[in-house]
Amino acid sequence: MNDLPSLMRRNARMTLFFLSLGCLGWAFRPDWKPVFGGFLMGVAGGFLVSLHLAWKVSAIAARAAGGQRSRFGMFGFVSRAAIGVLAAVISVRYLEFNLPATAAGLLAGPLVTLILGLSAISRQTGGHASDERGEKQ
């Protein structure tokens, strides 16, 4: 549980990076407004999805620590999917942005989080290979 706030800070930094990238792209190529606007809406929707997931994980962990059972299974997939669909509908129908760019924005944050997480797991902590727990000499 102590890692969740640091993971959310990293996620917020990545979101700000992608938002600034989209704003710079929109500033340099105004004729691509539907593409960059869709990407920006997707990144914002993806960040809301990650905030909701972090809230659900902490709520489930608090219930488990208290010995209570969760009323609903999974991590609120339907509500997270609804947030993504809402971002896509607002982006395409009301703001007339590009749907594939919105989908790319929705997937950019989780994909980078997955890649960074896998690289952190594979990175060694600097210890010796024989320093594993439970190994006696």
pLDDT mean across residues, the chain: 82
Q: DSSP letter string over 24-64?
A: HHHHH-GGGHHHHHHHHHHHHHHHHHHHHHHHHHHHHHHHH
Q: How confident is the model at residue 124 (pLDDT cuts 50, 70, 90)?
A: low
For residue 73, give both structure tokens: 């299974």
Local structure of residue 128 (DSSP, 8 states): -
Which contiguous run of DSSP H or E holds residue 108? Answer: helix 99-122
Angle formed by the axes of helices 77-89 and 99-122, nearest 10°: 140
13 versus 118: which is more confidently predicted?
13
Q: Range with the lowest mean pLDDT among 61-65, 107-111, 131-135? A: 131-135
For residue 128, give both structure tokens: 């010796």
Q: How confident is the model at residue 30 (pLDDT cuts 50, 70, 90)?
A: very high
Local structure of residue 122 (DSSP, 8 states): H
> For residue 41, is pLDDT > 90?
yes
User: What are the backbone dihedrals phi and psi of residue 132, each rounded to the nearest 5 degrees, phi first?
Assistant: -75, 155
Cα distance between residue 34 and residue 32, in whole Å: 6
Local structure of residue 137 (DSSP, 8 states): -
Mean pLDDT throughout 126-135?
A: 55
Read off the pLDDT of residues 97-113 as tens digits, 9 standing for 90 and up.
999 999 999 998 888 88
